[in-house]
């Protein structure tokens, strides 16, 4: 086998880290599919409190969509070796991820002010499901923020300049995934969900 054929095979092969990421994302999809299915089943049992989603969840949705755009632009900047632009866009993406989590928390506080506790003796299953499902999603977003911070610091290293795009592609794929996952959950809660 000649060298060109070997290089073609290597290019077609999926990087092991990307493969693991796709397996992990498949598991996460199954978990959220199970939780939203359980939500529907429990909703039909009765004793279900109908309440509108706090408006701050709309703002958090716009925030995470914008963060997906900044992540896309960061990936393009990295591939073009525009490192200053890449660092700025990764920073904005991480900031928007944290802002998303803060806005979700504000939404939970607003529900508490409406006497709709998410957990505890006085909570209703509808509010508890909302808290568990959105809380799990926020944890996945914060995991993505940590990954963004790691690749941000890698981009600032002065000793070793690596232009390997695999870590950036992995973080970008995961970030777009949590964005799409939130859009699904947001539509679910507004159409099937809380009221």
Give the tens place of pLDDT for each residue, 13-46: 777 778 888 888 889 999 999 999 988 888 887 7
- Average pLDDT of span 50-57: 86
Q: What is the mean pLDDT of the chain?
A: 85
**pLDDT above 60 (res 157):** yes
Give the tens place of pLDDT for each residue, 65-75: 999 999 999 99
Give the pLDDT of residue 85.
Answer: 93
Instruction: Confirm or reject CATH 1.20.120.80 for domain 26-193, answering yes or no.
Output: yes
| Number of neighbouring beta carbons within 10 Å of residue 162 | 10
- Average pLDDT of span 171-179: 94
What are the sequence ranges of the domains in the chain?
26-193
pTM over 0.75? The answer is yes
């Amino acid at each position: 086998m000649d060298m060109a054929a070997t290089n073609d095979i290597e290019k077609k092969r999926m990087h092991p880290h990307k493969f693991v990421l796709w397996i992990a994302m498949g598991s996460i999809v199954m978990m959220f599919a199970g939780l939203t299915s359980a939500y529907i089943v429990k909703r039909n049992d009765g004793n279900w409190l109908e309440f509108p989603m706090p408006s701050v969840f709309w703002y958090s949705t716009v925030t995470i969509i914008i963060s997906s755009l900044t992540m896309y632009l960061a990936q393009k900047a990295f591939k073009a070796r525009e490192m200053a632009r890449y660092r700025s866009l990764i920073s904005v993406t991480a900031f928007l991820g944290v802002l998303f989590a803060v806005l979700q928390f504000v939404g939970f506080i607003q529900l508490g002010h409406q006497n709709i506790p998410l957990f505890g003796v006085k909570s209703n299953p509808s509010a508890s499901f909302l808290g568990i499902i959105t809380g799990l999603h926020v944890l996945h977003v914060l995991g993505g923020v940590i990954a963004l911070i790691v690749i941000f610091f890698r981009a600032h290293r002065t000793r070793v300049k690596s232009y390997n795009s695999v870590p950036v592609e992995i973080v970008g794929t995961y970030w777009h995934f949590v964005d799409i996952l939130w859009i699904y959950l947001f539509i679910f809660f507004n159409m099937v969900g809380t009221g």
